[in-house]
Amino acid sequence: MSMNEPAPKITTLRSGLRVVSQSMPSMRTVAAGVWVRAGSRDEAPEEHGLAHFLEHMAFKGTARRSAQQIVEQMEAVGGDLNASTTVETTSYYVRLMGEHLPVALDIFADILSNSTFDPQEIKREKDVVLQEIGACEDSPEDWLPDLFMESAFARQPIGRPILGTRQSVKSFDRAGIRRYLDQRYREPAIAIAAAGDVDHERLAADAERLFGGFSDASPTAPAKARYVGGEVRKLRRLEQAHLMLGFSGFSYHDDEQYAAHAFAHILGGAMSSRLFQEVREKRGLAYAIDAQHWAYSDCGVFCMSAGAGETDVAELIHVSLDEIARATRDINDEELARARAQMKVALMSGFESPSRRVDQAAHQLLSYDRLISSEEILARLDALTVETVRAAGARMLASPPTLTAIGPAKHAPRIDAIAARVGAPTPAAA
């Protein structure tokens, strides 16, 4: 937060719904939306893909507006309406001039309270989502993370693809959509957020008036995740084998997540990173390679991804594993300082963008029941030491590995050989 900006404001309405805003006086536009703590891991087996499907159906007509009227009314005030579904949340958001925020809130309340879910629209949107599933499977870069999560969390809701399957999507009907909406879209699990040109008192008053029809009972918690590791290979006739290799990580409630993010950044977060330098610059085994740490409410994963020619797959994996293992022993102060500086720039860039700030605020409120200031996060990054980063890496490497490969990957080493190379346990299914 800038020293010249007002502090963010939070209001909890009588129903339990939270409203958060950040006034940014230099802005004439506002980024705003509704965030719901309900994602793909909250679905029952027969609902697989329903969180994402509901996001699609929200724009298909209400008792007050047709699908065309929804988009025309939003675009008439310059709004760009969109939505997204993740493992743990679903969000509906817009960017428009601050003076028109009440119009957007009215439309959000309408689509979440009064959608008709017309059977013909459901049928058409099923076809759209089936095409989306096909497009994902045609793109190794998009499909790879889904396969990775399916292997890392086998036979668990958190490991299921967000889009669902062809079979599950075809089974959706109006009754099932309404049942999911009633069970998951409950006010304690909903946050309304805005950043930019926003008046908090008016925002809270409009939210009280427009969103009073949701249940005030808390939704049931999702099944606890259990990382298991494993592998899946989809052998296809492609120019490259697309690979993702990883281990268990930390949840966003675990203080070690900051060290894990730094560990991933040192390994594959920039051009100076170890994997980029060793795999691409010195050996020419891949055009691009990166590493990331993904944190969820009760678990996390550390992973690296790359593409390689058929004959280079084994060497790429062996070199990457050696670099990851070496990092747990000899990450140095200079590397940590570079990673810390780059992570700070990424963090502060987010705080300078209304769209990213509103997303951060909503997720923090739903995840932590409070806002986390940039100063607090910067302090946590400053507190990192090479010892804490190495230790986080070692803990992650002590879990069973997960390997996902799409393309000409027959030369990829077996999962038990991968585990043995870094001294990790072998996945139970191997």
Q: State the chain's maximal CA–CA distance in angstroms.
A: 63
What is the average pLDDT across 231-258?
Answer: 96
Same domain assignment for residues 143 and 19: yes
Q: E strand or H helix at 188, and its extent?
A: none
**268 and 325 belong to one structural domain:** yes
Q: Above 70 in pLDDT, residue 3?
A: no
Tokens of 38: 């309900």
pLDDT over 70 at 273, yes or no: yes
Res 185: pLDDT: 92
In this structure, of 3-17, 81-95, 367-381, 388-402, the range with the lowest mean pLDDT score is 3-17
Q: Specify whether the CB–CB gap between 70 and 111 falls below 8 A.
A: yes
Q: Per-residue confidence at 288, pLDDT binned at 50, 70, 90? A: very high
Residue found under tokens 């007002």: 6
User: Is the domain of 273 the same as that of 143?
Assistant: no
Min mean pLDDT across 1-15, 18-32, 129-143, 318-332 is at: 1-15
Query: Structure tokens of 145?
Result: 């993370």
Average confidence (pLDDT) over 23-38: 95
Measured in whole angstroms, the distance separating CA 355 from the mean position of its chain's CA atoms is: 15
pLDDT of 430 higher than 60: no
Please tell me whether residues 152 and 83 are part of one structural domain: yes
Rg over alpha carbons for the chain, rounded to the nearest Å, is: 23
Q: Structurally, how many domains does the chain consist of?
A: 2
Cα-to-chain-centroid distance, residue 227: 17
Residue 6 clears pLDDT 70, i.e. is over it: yes
The pLDDT assigned to 4 comes to 67
For residue 79, is it within any domain? yes
Distance CA(304)–CA(293), nearest Å, equals: 9
Does 272 have pLDDT greater than 60?
yes
Note the pLDDT tens digit of each residue in 299-346.
999 999 999 999 999 999 999 999 999 999 999 999 999 999 999 999
pLDDT value for 429: 55
Same domain, residue pair 239 and 206: no
What SS3 class is residue 193? strand
Domain's final residue, options 176, 210, 244: 210
Decide if pLDDT at 15 tops 90.
Answer: no
- The token duo for 143 is 């499909």
* The predicted structure's pLDDT at residue 350: 86
Which secondary structure element, helix H or strand E, spans residue 206, and what is its range? helix 200-210
Check: CB of residue 234 under 8 Å from CB of residue 204.
no
395-409 average pLDDT score: 97
Q: Is the pLDDT of residue 1 over 90?
A: no
The per-residue pLDDT for 213 is 73
**Residue 77: pLDDT band with limits 50, 70, 90:** very high
Q: What percentage of residues in the chain have a pLDDT greater than 70?
A: 99
Whether 333 and 261 share a structural domain: yes
CATH number of the domain encompassing residue 235: 3.30.830.10
Whether 113 and 165 map to the same domain: the answer is yes
| E strand or H helix at 96 | strand 90-97
Tokens of 336: 């940590």
CA distances from 95 to 32, 100, 213, 260, 270 (A): 6, 10, 25, 33, 30
Kindly state the tokens that stand for 227: 């990382």
Looking at the structure, do residues 310 and 205 belong to the same domain, yes or no?
A: no
Q: Within 13 Å and on the Cβ side, how many CA atoms surround 37?
A: 23
Helix spans in 274-312 (H): 274-275
For residue 373, what pLDDT is reported?
92
The mean pLDDT of the chain is 95
Going 103 to 109 to 112 to 116, the CA torsion angle's sign is negative
Q: How many CA atoms lie within 13 A of 337 on its CB side?
A: 3
Catalytically active residues are 55
Note whether residue 429 is domain-resident: no
More confident residue, 14 or 324: 324
Residue 161: strand, helix, or coil: coil
Average pLDDT value for residue range 109-130 = 96
Residues 150 and 267 in one domain: no
pLDDT tops 60 at residue 95: yes
For residue 388, what is the enclosing H or E element?
A: helix 386-397
Give the separation between CA 153 and CA 404, rounded to whole angstroms.
13
Which runs of consecutive H residues, i.e. helices, occur in 18-139? Answer: 50-57, 67-76, 101-113, 119-138
Share of the chain above pLDDT 90, in %: 92
Q: Single out the residue in 164, 181, 210 at which a domain terminates.
A: 210
Instruction: Identify the pLDDT of residue 315.
Output: 97
Tell whether 206 and 235 lie within a shared domain: no
Query: Reduced to 3 states, what is the DSSP secondary structure of residue 57?
Result: helix
> Per the domain annotation, does 428 fall within a domain?
no
What is the distance between the alpha carbons of residues 94 and 82, in angstroms, rounded to a whole number?
Answer: 6
pLDDT at 214: 75
pTM (global) more than 0.85? yes
Band the pLDDT of 218: cuts 50, 70, 90: confident
Residue range of the domain that includes 375? 230-422
Q: Which tens digit of pLDDT belongs to each residue from 144-198?
A: 999 999 999 999 999 999 999 999 999 999 999 999 999 999 888 999 999 999 9
HSE at residue 19, side-chain half, CA atoms within 13 A, is: 21
Residue 351 pLDDT class (50, 70, 90 cuts): confident
| Domain boundary pick from 163, 181, 210 | 210
What pLDDT score does 47 carry? Answer: 96
